[in-house]
Chain A
Amino acid sequence: MSSQLKKFFTSLELDTRMLGMIGALIVLWLSFNFVTDGRFLTPRNLFNLSVQTASVAVMATGMVFVIVTRHIDLSVGSLLGLLGMLMGTLQVHILPQYLGFEHPLIWIITIAVGIAAGAIIGAMQGWVIGYLAVPAFIVTLGGFLVYRGAAWWVTTGQTVAPLDATYRLLGGGAEGTLGANLSWGLGLVASVAAVLLMIKSRQQKKAHGFNLKPVWAEYTLGGIAIALILGFVATMNSYPLSKGAVKRIFEGRGQEIPDYAVMHGVAIPVLIVLIVAIVMTVIAMRTKFGRYVFATGGNPEAAELSGINTKMLTVKVFSLMGVLTAIAAVIASARLGSVGNDLGTLDELRVIAAAVIGGTALAGGFGTIYGALLGALIMQSLQSGMAMVGVDAPLQSIVVGFVLVIAVYLDIAYRRRTGQ
């Protein structure tokens, strides 16, 4: 029986590490669901989980590149705080003076400025690391202190609120979702895209004369992918908006208040994560830049001797990290509706943990974007679940700490066995 099961999984040709992570996630979810008498696996909680994971997940995709090139970025949490504070001040105190409150350009200008600032600050860190050869650990530890302090100076510690209404949609509150119909549309597009990708991959393998999976395995995988996508949409579409929110939204639009239940649908931050994940995966697998990131991580000297400008590459990697931190800052601040001085505190550790749990090797050279996303989801599930069960905050930290170390040990043991 077990050999048959093994054969089944071998035919599917799935990454065993990914299977392990998915297995861990399922066990985690079922355990929490059991302990909370079914409150964990509800549409409401899963919706919240998806929104809470988004900010860390966006940054974790960038941290994969940073760690793959054998660096580390300890500054992302503080940088998120600074960028959030800059964007908050810009949209609350500065832009309304020229454009008026709730002007439709405010959110766009704010985000553009935030992303540019993130890119520049990240590039500066990368320049010190790449060209001045100061270790990334030190440079970003310095950044960790500098940005948190700088964030305080922007408003001398005052919380900035209320944020622009359109901007707040990006944080995924009651209004910040796609709604039921658009969510189904997204699910269908994603399903078709997944199937097309599988067909294309099979055709390419065929053209090269590689071994093909059995057809039933392709159907099984396609079926699982579609079930996951549509199952996720269905879950998000069965979490109703509160009566107050429905009233507020429909009155705001000047429409009649419906007498049926209005559903949330997929949250906008989740859509952002999806787009970021696709873009980052394409960068990692299909661009020269991505190839150089992995080559440099595998053997920096060889990369240099192959004519790759590894110093400039470091600047680009950290600049990209800065851009993603800005996007994460938008999600995090929009979700709260205000920017306080502690925004993003300890996020650097969550982000690093997500990337590392997701199979990114600190020795460099290995890491995947989907792994980092799964890692972020596992971390957030663990925290939300423990909070729901009523575990004290100090004990939560202890558990998360142990899980991190054990996860990395398992990863090392796995690599040793598979000889990677």
Chain B
Amino acid sequence: MENTTQPLVEMKDIQVSFGGIKAVDHVSIDVKPGEVVGLLGHNGAGKSTLIKVLSGAYKKDGGEIYINGEKVNIQNPRDARAHNIETIYQTLALADNLDAASNLFLGRELTSRTGFVDDDAMEAETRKIMGTLNPNFEKFSAPVSALSGGQRQSVAIARAVYFDAKVLIMDEPTAALGPHETQMVSDLIKELKKKGLGIFLISHDIHDVMELCDRATVMKNGKLVGTVDVADVTDDDLLGMIILGKHPHENNN
């Protein structure tokens, strides 16, 4: 691992506790430009909590975050967005009563010269980006509650990639998708990687991780098990890390 590129994002020694329970216990993780880092672990291992510290949804109780080597203070989702960190949440975080364009631009509405929200311009932009992401998408005026799981997912993805993200956090982006849509997300990840984004991919699916990720970080019970280069390990090695919390290169029997 003599990659000398400076990490895009570095989370050092992060701690988060909820009422005495250490959800994230001194965990460090980083991602470099053009790299996909998988984050693996059981439910409750602390993956989502760790990543929500970076996206501003949770406050950390200890540790530091560096972006391009500079220490930053992320207090809320607005701070994260200001650092070009975009997140696709597992729950998608869509306002079901609003249409696709309103969701895509939520918190960053386009306004006309008079200062009012410009629904026409936002819908035009939404049509543009959906045309490249999911050409079958047509329900632009319906509330997103009327959309299928895949369509909702594509709205959430569009929102994350539209705003010139440098770091992308994807929390189980394919959990609700069929095989065809999953393939679309895989292709998108590869394309964004080529553009030099740093991507954190939280996934349950070992095959996804093996296919898409450069490195994989495994957590168990809030603690870091280890970070490995995906090229150096097998599926079973990763499974062993997830289930037993055993680092493959430290101690093989």
Contact = CB atoms under 8 A, between A and B. Distances in A.
B38 to A, nearest CB: 22
Contact of B106 (A204, A295, A309): A295
B214 interface: no
Interface stretch (B25-33, B87-95, B191-199): B87-95
B176 interface: no
A419 B96 CA distance: 12
Interface string B121-139: 0010000000000000000
B97 A294 contact: yes
A180 B180 CA distance: 68
Contacts of B92: 302
A204 B117 CA distance: 15
A299 B77 contact: no
A96 B76 CA distance: 51
A304 B56 CA distance: 10
Interface in A196-254: 204, 207-208, 210
A287 B81 contact: no
A297 B120 contact: no
A216 to B, nearest CB: 23
Contact of A299 (B93, B109, B117, B141): B93
A365 interface: yes
A365 B96 contact: yes
B98 A294 contact: yes
A305 B102 CA distance: 14
Contact of A305 (B57, B96, B146): B57
Contacts, number: 81
B116 A291 contact: no
B150 interface: no
A305 B109 contact: no
A304 B77 contact: yes
Contacts of B42: none
Given A298-B96, A302-B94, A308 B107 contact: yes
Contacts of A286: 116-117
Nearest to B80: A307
Contacts of B107: 292, 303, 306-308
B97 A419 contact: no
Given A302-B106, A305-B89, A420-B143, A291 B117 contact: yes
Interface in A343-385: 365-366
Interface residues of A, number: 29
B78 A208 contact: no
Contacts of B102: 291, 295
B55 interface: yes
B73 interface: no
Given A208-B120, A286-B116, A291 B106 contact: yes
A13 interface: no
Nearest to A295: B95
A304 B93 CA distance: 9
B145 interface: yes
Interface string A290-332: 0110111111011111111100000000000000000000000
Nearest to A286: B116
Contacts of B77: 304-307
A288 interface: yes
A302 B120 contact: no
B111 interface: yes
Nearest to A303: B95
A366 B95 CA distance: 12
Given A305-B87, A306-B77, A298 B98 contact: yes
B106 A308 contact: yes
Contacts of A282: 116
Interface string A393-420: 0000000000000000000000000011
Contacts of A308: 106-107
B97 A307 contact: no
B97 A365 contact: yes
Contact of A366 (B76, B97, B109, B123): B97
Nearest to A419: B146
Given A298-B97, A302-B93, A305-B77, A287 B123 contact: no
B145 A306 contact: no
Nearest to A297: B97
Interface of A: 204, 207-208, 210, 282, 286-288, 291-292, 294-299, 301-309, 365-366, 419-420
Given A295-B98, A296-B95, A305-B57, 19 more contacts: A204-B120, A207-B120, A208-B120, A287-B115, A287-B117, A288-B111, A291-B98, A291-B109, A294-B98, A302-B92, A305-B77, A305-B87, A305-B93, A308-B107, A309-B78, A365-B95, A365-B96, A419-B145, A420-B145
8 contacts: A208-B123, A282-B116, A287-B117, A292-B107, A299-B96, A302-B91, A303-B107, A309-B78
List 8 A-B pairs, minimum CB-CB distance, nearest first. Answer: A298-B97, A298-B95, A306-B107, A365-B97, A302-B93, A307-B78, A286-B116, A307-B107
